[in-house]
Amino acid sequence: MTTIVTGGAGFIGSHLVDRLLDDGREVVVVDDFDAYYPRAVKEANLAAALARPGCRLVELDVRDAAGVGALVRETRPEAIVHLAARAGVRPSIAAPALYTEVNVLGTVNWLEAAARLDPLPRFVYASSSSVYGDRDEGPFRESDPVDRPVSPYAASKRACELMAHAFHHLHGLPITGLRFFTAYGPRNRPDLAVSLFADRIERGEPVVMFGDGGTRRDYTYVGDIVDGVARAIDRCEGLKLYNLGNSRPVELREMIETLAAALGKPALIRLAPEQPGDVRQTFADVSLAARELGYAPSTSLREGLDRFVAWYRSPRS
């Protein structure tokens, strides 16, 4: 049983590859090692997996429709997990066309290739909590209206959800979308808040806190998210959409304090204005995923940050 994982050398993707190999699946990792952050980081993420039987790497840009189609025809996967994307709210404001091209066109290329296979593969893709926009009320439910994105990144992820609906309707492709909520943990992307803050606290430099620290995020440990993705692959049928979060929002100032405690160092705070595209909170209702997937996140913020710090301070080539 072969599973293609796009973005498989990234933060969440590499953890998923490890999980699928542990489950006895053959995995084809697709990644283009985009320069958004250093190639060496992704190579380190994937090194252990590539040393195991049943795992191979294909360097491929998701925008290469011919290359995507050829790989899918050659591999004939049982499942495709499409995680590859241009990530980040703030960078998308500076490059909206690039985000649209990679995230939307790239997703369409994989959907189209999957829809041409017989039998049809299961198709699982990453969406984002950002599709919910800027809102005070919570928790966020999959049935809530999501027609007011506040960044090009959020809009691109919502567009992918609409494309998934169209391909399921036209071709009967079994598709599951997963809205991830603020993943963190070992192999954290270097541009994410937990990594940036850890760097500054470790060096004794001020942490830049945008706003008054009262914004809330539903920080979700990467292992919990990966467990949800694995369950979604096994249960992919029809057209589904699930939140994968922790359902326990934490204020930014509390997250910084908890990270500082995990590092055993004080956090010096420098206040800065709120940034365009930021939202006041993310807050996942995970009852649907719990009921239909058996999803049950169990990692507390302190436990997850302790694991992150252990990885962060470990020797890495």
The 10s digit of each residue's pLDDT in 231-252 is 999 999 999 999 999 999 999 9
Would residue 203 count as lying in a domain? no
Would residue 24 count as lying in a domain? yes
Mark 259-291 as b/e (b = at least 16 C-beta within 10 Å): bbebbeeebeeeeeeeeebebebbbbbbebbbe
Interatomic CA distance for residues 150 and 255, integer angstroms = 24
Would residue 303 count as lying in a domain? no
The pTM score is: 0.96
Would residue 90 count as lying in a domain? yes
Question: Given this model, what pLDDT does residue 279 score?
Answer: 87
Would residue 269 count as lying in a domain? no
Backbone angles phi, psi at 261, to 5 degrees: -65, -40
pLDDT at 159 over 70: yes
Domain of residue 58 covers 2-183+220-247+283-297
153 catalytic residue (yes or no): yes
Kindly report the CATH number assigned to the domain that includes residue 10: 3.40.50.720
Tell me which of 99, 132, 153, 295 is the catalytic residue.
153
Would residue 314 count as lying in a domain? no
Total of domains in the chain: 1
Which of 44-58, 182-196, 205-219, 285-299 has the least mean pLDDT?
Answer: 205-219
Would residue 258 count as lying in a domain? no
Interatomic CA distance for residues 92 and 158, integer angstroms = 14
Q: 231, 277 in Cβ contact below 8 A?
A: no
The 10s digit of each residue's pLDDT in 73-125 is 999 999 999 999 999 888 999 999 999 999 999 999 999 999 999 999 999 99
